[in-house]
Structure 1
């Protein structure tokens, strides 16, 4: 078995210490110190070198770091976690990391359930804090793998041993929901949203058919308490609200189309659009932005990235200079996140910072450095015509290459091309199927596109789209 770096011979360790200038020559101790000094330090090459030597903890750490990219193959991360866990002989925390990947990915959650069930038999859950935390991470995704008595005992031990970031309310909510006690689950979810970013999404889905209205009302009640919430929790609430706003926007567009169709069918003159036709979605979007801004003001980088998404989605409301100022701030806090954001901003046609050639240079540099977001951004550049005329075929080719690696966002990008491209690429059936695949793989924002496409599909087309969706999911290499 490969020798973990923690017990490498002294001579080798000495050699590593003398190689400070050689990237990928740092030991785990040096990597830990670099991350202590700067949590966003670029240590991926160092971790990859240790992974090659068989270091279990490096495998888990690298998998966690790769999770920050939407274009990283989940298959690659899962392989790292499985190697790290090593059937209970390696890094137990890797099982918890692997479980967190299943949070919204229904495809893999079903596929990997037997693997998690087996893994739970391969280590003592109560041996130490790490094994306890890993078992509870699995419990959040697969509560049915634990008896109520087992779950209660784990929670009792967790409550006794935990000092910070205990997530107890979320665990209690999941347990109550699994036992069918919805009033108790609702109480715990509401408390969990205050401190745990994962709870907002969980609570939204828990609310069922009236989730859009009920969650928006709940968020309104929470607004006076944002200061007491974690930055992650504040950001997640804003993201859920923005998705609800997008669903409302789709409904408003469909209502307007129905109004026009009815007037045409009746042969009557179309009345002007009511002045408050978009009031609901516009108001909720502003509320969502308020939540995101609150988290971004606390230097929460994911919220700052979401704020840039708002800016590029509504470019008339912002300027390129404002966007670049935000990106420069992100670059100070988390340098690895900045290139992707800068490319997005450089491709906005409404801004005087438009510079597709510079965007292309950054993309090429990202690709050469192995940044997984680079290829997806290259597809976007072709799709928007940044280098010449729009080339949807070339964009689709890039997205298809990425989707073959199991990348959900690549399926969604294909869906958008098929949904909105010129006639030679337009295929609403294919668009609906691919958006459905992206949604099944955990990309929540694909839901609003499916909702809009569904309006124009006949029953036969919808059945065909669902058949394509099912075939893709079946063939997808998990």
Structure 2
């Protein structure tokens, strides 16, 4: 009977699988897709790679192999290079490891033979601009403009091309246009702005704010995340530069107090900027923004109360029961009941009246039984914060390392932060840098600024040693 049920389940066609994913981005379709892929269906092979890549960073190696199988040296699905390029984007280690493959793949099909070939090459260009000449990119964008009718990304392609070939004014113009339609442009524009990027990006977001209602909802959320990242950088920079000695006189004491007040005022302003973007997305019923705001408020328990977080959690739970009309972004990456439960577990770790570490522990145990991917990280957080007793950083580190070895980039970043800021642990800038480096190389953009901050506290020799250790960690996490 079980064999017959399995056979019937695996008999779903690719069209039926696509429809199941349209209804629920977390639908159980892996068995169907593997069955179809084993029969040589290259479209199913590509979709299997996309599903695996979207569900866990630990699947990166397998997804890369599936995209390559679907491409089949140019004889199969040419467009499979698009999700492959997007998967490799912002992952320096993976990007470097697959450069030769991408160069060879570009020679396997004619550049302008059809729209898919043009679109594919331009998507690869975003990740590997060094593989293209300026004339080739110009020609590809011209062809793309003629053929693309909806969901076009020409502004982003033009922005990256202008930046690549040294025309900063053109790049600035096209990046600002791209940011209004393509969430992928946000990080690229931020990086393009250089050393003054925090100030310049905030100014740009402020000019854009009056028109946020007209912007795509996922882009509004992405800008909120970028401004939140700037806010976290400002807090981290201030804390790292705090004097370690007592003020020697009244003048020095007054200067420090003035600087602290100015910083507090900046953080307060940044909070308002973050929340205006998040609240706009929440007013438009965007679930990911609800998650982001709840997490954001929990990072500052001294300035916020638990009531707004509880209200957001309840709203997310109601959405689960009421089956609202979801945007394409949410259909592809729906907020699962487990994700909401994880948010509750985090809430009960915060030093508010809702503090209840035992309840948090029970929720985490349930998540582990349900095989929620980040349950062990939550358990590590509980030990790290001392929810059950005194902080137990050794236990937290053991749990984080267990997840890191399974490919969790979040775990690597948690360990880096623990060695940088952790309580009840001997802080170690060298170890922190090694883990931040590993997280950065594997694609966590949040690790970049932590790496930069830590590098100023290490000698060149210490950085070399930490980098070597980071490379070893990468091997452990990905092989």
Partner of 2:367: 363
1:195 and 2:195 matched = no
**Which of 61, 80, 86 is the equivalent residue of 2:72?**
86
1:226 and 2:230 matched = no
Alignment deviations for residues 329-360 of structure 1 (CA, whole Å, 9 cap, x no partner): 56445555341342132233335374224322
Cα contact 1:308–1:323 (8 A) shared by 2: yes
User: Residues 406 and 155 of structure 1: is their aligned pair in 2 closer, same or farther, counting only changes over 3 Å?
Assistant: same
Cα contact 2:404–2:477 (8 A) shared by 1: no
Partner of 2:245: 261
Cα contact 1:72–1:372 (8 A) shared by 2: no
Q: Summarize the alignment of residues 61-72 of structure 1 with structure 2, pairs less than 5 Å apart.
A: 61-69=47-55, 71-72=57-58
Cα contact 1:207–1:214 (8 A) shared by 2: yes
Cα contact 2:419–2:425 (8 A) shared by 1: no
User: Residues 254 and 39 of structure 1: is their aligned pair in 2 closer, same or farther, counting only changes over 3 Å?
Assistant: closer
Unaligned runs of 5+ in 2: none
Aligned length: 456
User: Residues 436 and 103 of structure 1: is their aligned pair in 2 closer, same or farther, counting only changes over 3 Å?
Assistant: same
1:328 and 2:317 matched = yes
User: Residues 180 and 164 of structure 1: is their aligned pair in 2 closer, same or farther, counting only changes over 3 Å?
Assistant: same
* CA positional deviation for 1:86: 2.4
Partner of 1:12: none
1:372 and 2:379 matched = no
* Inter-partner Cα distance in structure 2 for 1:378 and 1:25: 39
* CA positional deviation for 1:381: 4.2
Partner of 2:444: 443
1:151 and 2:146 matched = no
* Inter-partner Cα distance in structure 1 for 2:390 and 2:432: 22
Cα contact 1:243–1:445 (8 A) shared by 2: yes
SS at the partner of 1:26? coil
* Inter-partner Cα distance in structure 2 for 1:372 and 1:351: 28
SS at the partner of 2:263? coil
193-202 or 118-127: which moved more? 118-127
SS at the partner of 1:263? coil
SS at the partner of 1:123? coil
449-458 or 128-137: which moved more? 449-458
* Inter-partner Cα distance in structure 2 for 1:59 and 1:374: 29
* CA positional deviation for 1:145: 1.4
Q: Summarize the alignment of residues 378-397 of structure 1 with structure 2, pairs less than 5 Å apart.
A: 378-384=379-385, 390-397=391-398
Cα contact 2:361–2:379 (8 A) shared by 1: no
Cα contact 1:342–1:359 (8 A) shared by 2: yes
**Which of 249, 257, 264 is the equivalent residue of 2:235?**
249
User: Residues 224 and 377 of structure 1: is their aligned pair in 2 closer, same or farther, counting only changes over 3 Å?
Assistant: same
**Which of 226, 232, 257 is the equivalent residue of 1:273?**
257
User: Residues 312 and 180 of structure 1: is their aligned pair in 2 closer, same or farther, counting only changes over 3 Å?
Assistant: same
* CA positional deviation for 1:214: 1.0
* CA positional deviation for 1:244: 1.0
Alignment deviations for residues 185-220 of structure 1 (CA, whole Å, 9 cap, x no partner): 111111110001011111111111111111111111
Cα contact 2:58–2:478 (8 A) shared by 1: no
Alignment deviations for residues 22-42 of structure 1 (CA, whole Å, 9 cap, x no partner): 655422121123334455645
Cα contact 1:170–1:189 (8 A) shared by 2: yes
* CA positional deviation for 1:262: 5.7
Unaligned runs of 5+ in 1: 1-15
Q: Summarize the alignment of residues 136-215 of structure 1 with structure 2, pairs less than 5 Å apart.
A: 136-215=122-201
SS at the partner of 2:88? coil
* Inter-partner Cα distance in structure 2 for 1:423 and 1:353: 20
* Inter-partner Cα distance in structure 1 for 2:112 and 2:368: 48
* CA positional deviation for 1:231: 1.6
SS at the partner of 1:325? helix
TM-score, normalization: structure 1? 0.84
